[in-house]
Chain A
Amino acid sequence: MNVTALLDTLLAFSESKLGPLWGPATYELVTSAVFIVLIVAPLMLCVAYLTLWERKLIGWMQIRIGPNRVGPLGLLQPIADGVKLLFKEVILPTNANKALYILAPMLGIMPALAAWAVVPFAPEVVLADINAGLLYVIALTSFGVYGVIIAGWASNSKYAFLGAMRSAAQMVSYELGMGFALVVVLMVSGSLNLSDIVNAQGRGLFASKGLHFLSWNWLPLAPMLLVYFISGVAETNRAPFDVVEGESEIVAGHMIEYSGMTFALFFLAEYANMILISTLTAVMFFGGWQAPIDSALFNLLPPFGWLLAKVFVIVSLFLWIRATFPRYRYDQIMRLGWKIFIPLTLVWIVFVGAWMQTPWNIWK
């Protein structure tokens, strides 16, 4: 392949210039940095256009047009929004704890980006091919709660504090559901590496007949898919689980005192998290980069294209849910997380575990 040859030339070049010790190290640093930029820059663009897509889609669902003034079809709207926020004042409230107040949005965005390090985009295309990928993803998604708590406390405002406490309790509750659901995925894949999890979904009775989409995890693990996806919606504090912001009761929750770019960071983090959860759902349950049917027609779209298509559909589902459901009451949210998802996932762990002990184990 061209890319491999190019990389080899680069490695040889840096070795010849910098010696056997520093050469490979510099090569590693430069290629990783380039790869990271190749992930982060398009991701930020996707986040920007996801906000536009959200407004358009919900507009259409409500028989409106949505943004259409800035540029053709409103396509420049996200850029206008970004530039506007850039030139707004960053307000520091008098009673706030300044250092933590500024730190909070950064803590919010860091895990939303860093989790992408282990996401496989296509066969063999992954930045960090670590053996504990799934564990890393769970650990990083559990950091998201810090941005919210610290923001709520540092703002020293009642609404912010109320929102932070609500969301912290909600996020940790739904992390459990997500964690247990991923344990089931791990059981059937037998590997913590995300590329291996995708590959494992391409094996089985149906896959050998070319019907890959019937071998993906969504079919045998359908309840876990539901638990994972709904927990993902709750984890990102999206409607109908958005009591954290709850416009009509606590105004904007933890973000209430934020303005300008500090506010924009929270916004970016929320949308980046949505895309991340959608990508992980595609990777864990919908075969990642695999084409649904192994035939020449379906293979016209490259693997990365398939992943993109799946992520787009799942992200749109987030928006559809927001347009459809009214907000849950807080006690209902906690009930769903603790009393329905956790027992359901525990039962499914036992069920799948027992299934795997029988001769009818389909995940050999």
Chain B
Amino acid sequence: MLAEYFPILLFILVGLAVGVIPVVLGALLGPHRPDPEKNSPYECGFEAFEDARMKFDVRYYLVAILFILFDLEIAFLFPWAAVLGEIGLFGFVSMMVFLAILVVGFVYEWKKGALEWE
């Protein structure tokens, strides 16, 4: 089994190399003439006034948290879907109960307006 994962590790390294090589080449071949105006952050013509890292709407956190929870749900669904043909009606029903409990959460989320984007 591990032998099949070796090419994947190699591919990840190659993927990183494909990222690194052009940047190195670009840095070597391109000109390098820094200028305070050129290196200032882009701001549609006027001077940048305050730090760009501002506070954000809490809604973005909520989306991220809900994403984690549903991602976990997917992680639970995967082994189930792979063996659905073997575990029979009992396995099917136990997943339906699982989904029913989570649909309650989803409905709550929906009714509470957590999915509204104002």
Q: Do chains A and B touch in the complex (CB under 8 A)?
A: yes
Residues of A bordering B, CB below 8 Å: 28-29, 32-33, 35-37, 40, 44, 85-95, 102, 105-114, 116-118, 127-131, 134-136, 138, 142, 153, 155-161, 165, 168-169, 172-173, 175-176, 179-180, 183-184, 186-187, 190-192, 251, 256-257, 260-262, 264-265, 330-331, 334-335, 338-339, 342-343, 346, 349-350, 353-354, 356-357, 363-364
Contact A105 B117, CB 8 Å, known A176-B71, A353-B95: no
Main secondary structure of the interface of B (DSSP, over half): helix
Contact of A257 with B18 in the complex, beta carbons under 8 Å? no
Contact of A251 with B42 in the complex, beta carbons under 8 Å? yes
* Bound-complex Cα distance A155 to B40 (A): 10
Interface residues of B in 80-103 (CB under 8 A from A): 81-85, 89, 92, 95-96, 99, 103
CB nearest to B19 among chain A residues: A106
Contact of A89 with B32 in the complex, beta carbons under 8 Å? yes
- Chain B nearest Cβ from A204, distance in angstroms: 15
User: Which of A40, A256, A261 has a CB less than 8 Å from the CB of B42?
Assistant: A256
The 3 closest A-B pairs by CB, nearest first: A261-B26, A106-B19, A157-B41
Contact of B5 with A339 in the complex, beta carbons under 8 Å? no
Contact of B4 with A129 in the complex, beta carbons under 8 Å? yes
Residues of B bordering A, CB below 8 Å: 1, 3-8, 10-12, 14-16, 18-20, 22-23, 25-27, 29-34, 36, 38-44, 48, 51-54, 56, 60, 63-64, 67, 70-71, 74, 77-78, 81-85, 89, 92, 95-96, 99, 103, 106, 110, 115-118
- Chain B nearest Cβ from A266, distance in angstroms: 10
Contact of A157 with B42 in the complex, beta carbons under 8 Å? yes
Contact A169 B92, CB 8 Å, known A113-B15, A114-B8: no
- B89: A residues at CB distance < 8 A: 357
CB nearest to A129 among chain B residues: B4
Could you name 19 residue pairs across A and B whose Cβ atoms are closer than 8 Å? A32-B10, A36-B10, A36-B11, A86-B25, A86-B26, A95-B40, A114-B11, A130-B5, A158-B52, A158-B54, A173-B63, A183-B74, A183-B81, A257-B42, A264-B26, A265-B22, A331-B116, A339-B115, A363-B85
